[in-house]
Amino acid sequence: MSFALKLSGAVALLLSGLFCGIFLSDRLRRRRDLIRAFIELLSGLKTSIRYNSGELISLIKASAPNYIREFFMTDSVDFDFYWRNSVLKIPKAYALKSGDYELLYGFGKNLGATDIAGQIEHIELYTEFFKRALKNAEDEYRTKGRLYKTLGFFAGASLSIMLI
């Protein structure tokens, strides 16, 4: 095998390892950003419920930030079906954990079951839950994100050295 071919293969291995690490790190960033967007949704929804009257589905659609608005554009009459369908639209690329999905489903399951004051308390409670999940996601992104990039680079470098 010629040296140029080995060198190009080594560079390809190095870059593929690095890009794999960057991809895994980016999934953690997307999870963090998605949880932030849900906290923003809860804040806007709390304000909408307090000061506007209207159907809960339309209030959620109006309160959803642009980053996650596409998940909430489903048309439905039944709120439970609407919420479950909206959460199911979140792609796997956001790397949500099972606890994140439980939090999302739990929020939608009990929303709208009480009067306005009860709904606002429900939103405030889940805002705190989402803030904890956000802190966890930020810590994970800060530590594992860097680790994934570094491991990807060194795995690619190791394979490259073995090839040469």
Mean pLDDT value across residues 22-41? 92
Of residues 112 and 138, more confidently modeled: 138
Domains of the chain by residue range: 32-144
Tokens of 10: 């080594």
CB 73 within 8 A of CB 92: no
Q: pLDDT band for 130, please (50, 70, 90 cuts).
A: very high
pTM attached to this predicted model: 0.82
Q: pLDDT tens-digit profile of 87-101?
A: 888 888 888 999 999
* The pLDDT value given to residue 1: 59
Tokens of 125: 């409670």
Q: For residue 142, is pLDDT > 80?
A: yes
Q: pLDDT tens-digit profile of 41-85?
A: 999 999 988 888 778 888 888 888 887 888 888 777 778 888 888
Average pLDDT for the chain = 87
CA distance 71 to 88: 8
Tokens of 51: 């000061």
